[in-house]
């Protein structure tokens, strides 16, 4: 890796490459880290359990029978 590690980490967090999963399956994909954090907070407040933020790559490996919502929720919903 070249360059400033802080810049690399920031860009990783700002990329739309994060998914949110729960005990029910994949809740949303292709989120920024901040959008994913907000969604976890909102779903937790609604009583959803087992919430995790993972990469889209990891989410793509989940069981195909898990419910998957395509795309990210709108910013108003997050």
The answer on pLDDT for 75 being more than 50 is no
CA neighbor of 16 nearest in space, from 48, 59, 62, 68: 59
Asked whether residue 57 is assigned to any structural domain, the reply reads yes
pLDDT tens-place string over residues 20-53: 999 999 999 999 999 999 999 999 999 999 999 9
Asked whether residue 35 is assigned to any structural domain, the reply reads yes
The predicted structure's pLDDT at residue 62? 81
Asked whether residue 30 is assigned to any structural domain, the reply reads yes
Which residues span the domain enclosing 41?
16-78
The predicted structure's pLDDT at residue 65? 40
The predicted structure's pLDDT at residue 76? 36
**Rounded to an integer, what distance in angstroms lies between the CA atom of residue 6 and that of residue 49?**
32
Q: Is the pTM of this model over 0.85?
A: no
- Number of domains forming the structure of the chain: 1
Asked whether residue 47 is assigned to any structural domain, the reply reads yes
Asked whether residue 11 is assigned to any structural domain, the reply reads no
């Amino acid at each position: 890796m070249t360059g400033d590690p802080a810049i690399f980490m920031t860009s990783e967090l700002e990329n739309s490459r994060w998914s949110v999963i729960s005990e029910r399956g994949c809740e949303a994909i292709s989120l920024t880290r901040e959008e994913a954090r907000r969604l976890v907070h909102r779903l937790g407040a609604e009583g959803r359990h087992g919430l995790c933020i993972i990469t889209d790559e990891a989410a793509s490996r989940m069981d195909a029978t898990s419910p998957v919502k395509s795309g990210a929720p709108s910013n108003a919903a997050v």
